[in-house]
Amino acid sequence: MDEGPSIVSYVMGAAFCALLIYWQVIRGKAKKATANREPRAITLADLHGKWRVVSFGQNGGKAPFFIARRMKARLVVEGDRFTKFMGDRPFAAGRLVISTDGNHSTFDEYVDTADASDSVSLGIIRWVGDKIEHLQGKAGEDRPTRFPYSSDSKCGYALMKRE
């Protein structure tokens, strides 16, 4: 006659379950500690390369996600120069000046092409995971003062991911 699982089997199973639960709790605390680290301000060197706009908006509103994908808006940074593209066509270029201000950086565009030549747009930028979030006033307007972008924001918004 089979007596079924022994008491040792039950104890081993319970110990294994307790170990798994303990591991998940410890892992969860480790993730929270990492997520709450002080964010690092963005430098000009961090921006070098190609960035694809994944979300954008203006004056507190955001465009639907598929619009950003369809427009294929990009930012390319080389040295202290930037070029903005819509698809394959550049529509603005100029010089970037990045300065650190606490946990975000200022992001100032000095446009030197086309109709917007000699215009200056003041903004702020910060890391959001591996993406960058950028708030920017229109040319000649004040710099946005704080994150996050919300329905009462009076600036432009872009979330960009490295290509």
**pLDDT 10s digit of each residue in the chain, 163 long?**
556 556 655 545 555 545 545 555 555 554 444 444 556 889 999 999 999 999 999 999 999 988 988 999 999 999 999 999 999 999 899 999 999 866 679 999 999 886 666 789 999 999 999 999 999 998 889 999 888 899 888 999 999 999 9
* CATH code that applies to domain 44-162: 2.40.128.280
Whole-structure pTM value: 0.72
The whole-angstrom separation of Cα 61 and Cα 65 is 12
Q: Where are the domains of the chain?
A: 1-37, 44-162
**How far apart (Å, rounded) are the C-alpha atoms in residues 86 and 74?**
7
Q: How many CB atoms lie within 10 A of CB 48?
A: 14
- Residue 14's identity, in one-letter code, is A
What's residue 129's pLDDT?
A: 93
Q: Please list the alpha-helical segments (H only) found in the chain.
A: 7-35, 44-47, 65-71
Distances (CA, A) of 85 to 67, 75, 115, 128: 15, 6, 16, 22
What CA–CA distance (Å, rounded) separates 97 from 80?
7
**CA 125 to chain CA centroid, nearest Å:** 8
- The residues that bridge with 93 in the sheet, in sequence order, are 83
| CA dist 158 → 68, 121, 129, 155 (Å) | 10, 14, 14, 10
Contact criterion met (CB below 8 Å) for 157 and 58: yes
pLDDT attached to residue 33: 42
